Amino acid sequence: EPAPLDLKKYIREIPDFPKPGILFYDISTLIRSAEAWQVATGRLARLIGTWKPDLLAGIESRGFLTAAPIAQRLGTGFTMLRKPGKLPGETISLKYGLEYGEDELHIQKDAIIPGQRVVVLDDLLATGGTLAASVELLRKAGAEVVGASVLIELTALKGRDKLDVPVNSLISYD
């Protein structure tokens, strides 16, 4: 039997991006490998499937890459959480604090049928600020948020402690 694929080998570590002193975990090298990307989305889909979601929500923009193929595998729909000025029609928004400054996410007002079971996805969980804001925004839009999922978790930052939903991840770094 072949050994299970080690997905960590497909993550490229780039020092000093986007700023000096930051080590960036680049998923480009994962998604460009047909085999590794199949395995990654398949594993995450199996974990997420246990939450029985009706809909997946992806956070712009690497969360879109993560959520869309998994929604197809699970046979659910997919909705977008986007930066300001991107979504047409009426939106619901939420401002949230970053390390420096503020950011804002939007969702279309009718994106969620009230009570739908929604799982929110991003590529990476660091401090948890982005996912915590996304969970709050989805609830404002009427969702029952049943979980949050990422490809990569930076465990030392304890981002999952900021979330009041179950979290799963495929690859962790201290």
The span from the CA of 28 to the CA of 129, in Å, is: 23
143 three-class SS = coil
The span from the CA of 146 to the CA of 164, in Å, is: 10
Give me 143's structure tokens.
Answer: 């969702």
Q: For residues 19 and 89, which CB has a smaller minimum distance to ligand 5GP in the complex?
A: 19
Active-site annotation holder among 62, 82, 153, 160:
62
Active-site annotation holder among 1, 35, 90, 99:
99
Active site residue 62: yes
Between β-strands 23-26 and 12-15, what pairing exists: parallel, antiparallel or unpaired? Answer: antiparallel
Interface region with ligand 5GP, contact rule CB under 6 A, candidates 39-47, 80-88, 111-119, 121-129:
121-129
CB of 78 to ligand 5GP, least distance (A): 17
Chain Cα centroid distance, residue 147: 10
126 near ligand 5GP (CB under 6 A): yes
Residues in region 53-82 near ligand 5GP by CB under 6 A: 59, 62
Q: Which residue bears the tokens 């570590």? A: 13
135 near ligand 5GP (CB under 6 A): no
- Residues contributing to the site for ligand 5GP (CB under 6 A): 24-25, 27, 59, 62, 122-130, 159
